[in-house]
Amino acid sequence: MVRSTFVLNLSRAVKEVGSRVQLKIKARSSGHTLNPFVDSKHVVVHAGRGGDGCIAFDRFFCNPHGGPSGGDGGNGGHIIFEADPAIHDLSHIGSILKAPDGCKGSGSNCHGANAKHLVVAVPLQTQIFSVSQKVDVGEDLTLLKVLSTPSETMIAARGGAGGRGNAFLACANQTHHSDAHWRVREATLRLAERGAVGQSRRLLLRMVSFADIGLVGLPNAGKSSLLRRLTRARPRVAPYPFTTIQPHVGTLEVPPLKGEEMLKLTIADLPGIIEGAATHNAGLGACFLSFIERCRALVYLIDVSTVLNGGGGESKNVSSSNATFKFAQQLGTLHRELQLFNPQLVDSSRLSLVVGTKIDLVVPPSGGSESLDKISQCLTEAARRVGLESPRILLISALRGDRIDELVKLFSNELVRCE
Q: Helices 320-341 and 369-386, interaxial angle, to 10°?
A: 40
Cα 38 from Cα 88, distance rounded (Å): 9
At 26 the pLDDT is 46
| Residue of 92, 50, 42 whose CA lies nearest to 199 | 50
Please state whether 379 falls in left (phi above 0), alpha (psi between -120 and 50) or beta. Answer: alpha
- Asked if residue 146 lies in contact with residue 207, where contact means CB atoms within 8 angstroms, the answer is no
Q: Helices 223-230 and 404-418, interaxial angle, to 10°?
A: 80
- Asked if residue 216 lies in contact with residue 267, where contact means CB atoms within 8 angstroms, the answer is no
| Residue of 56, 36, 46 whose CA lies nearest to 170 | 56
- Report CA Rg, the chain: 34
Q: Which helix (H) or strand (E) holds 337?
A: helix 320-341
Q: Is the pLDDT of residue 179 over 60?
A: no
- Asked if residue 383 lies in contact with residue 375, where contact means CB atoms within 8 angstroms, the answer is no
Q: Is the pLDDT of residue 128 over 90?
A: yes
Q: Which helix (H) or strand (E) holds 266?
A: strand 263-269
pTM to 2 decimals? 0.68
| Residue of 369, 357, 366, 360 whose CA lies nearest to 407 | 357
Torsion of CA 60, 64, 68, 74, to 10 degrees: 60
Cα 357 from Cα 226, distance rounded (Å): 9
For 76-137, give the secondary structure using H, E and C.
Answer: CCCEEEEECCCCCCCCCCCCEEECCCCCCCECCCECCCCCCCEEEEECCCEEEEEEEEECCC
Cα 15 from Cα 221, distance rounded (Å): 56
Please state whether 79 falls in left (phi above 0), alpha (psi between -120 and 50) or beta. Answer: beta
Q: Is the pLDDT of residue 202 over 90?
A: yes
Cα 338 from Cα 268, distance rounded (Å): 16
At 313 the pLDDT is 42
% residues pLDDT > 70 (the chain): 76
CATH code for the structural domain at 40-206: 2.70.210.12
The arithmetic mean of pLDDT across residues 386-392, rounded, is 76
- Asked if residue 398 lies in contact with residue 226, where contact means CB atoms within 8 angstroms, the answer is yes
The domain spans of the chain are 40-206, 210-418
397 DSSP 8-state letter: B
Which one is predicted more confidently, 241 or 88? 88
Q: Is the pLDDT of residue 358 over 80?
A: yes
CB atoms within 10 A of CB 224: 22
Q: Is the pLDDT of residue 381 over 80?
A: yes
Give me the count of residues in the chain.
419
At 283 the pLDDT is 59
| Residue of 73, 23, 76 whose CA lies nearest to 48 | 76
**Ranges 17-21, 159-163, 314-318, 400-404: which has the least confidence:** 17-21
Sequence-ordered list of residues with C-beta below 8 angstroms from that of 186, at least 6 positions apart, any chain? 57, 65
Q: Is the pLDDT of residue 253 over 90?
A: no
Q: How far from each other are the two terminal CA atoms of the chain, in whole angstroms?
A: 91
210-418 topology per CATH? Rossmann fold (3.40.50)
Model confidence at 23, pLDDT cuts 50, 70, 90, reads very low
Longest Cα separation, the chain: 114
- DSSP helix, strand, coil percent of the chain (3-state; round to 5): 30, 25, 50
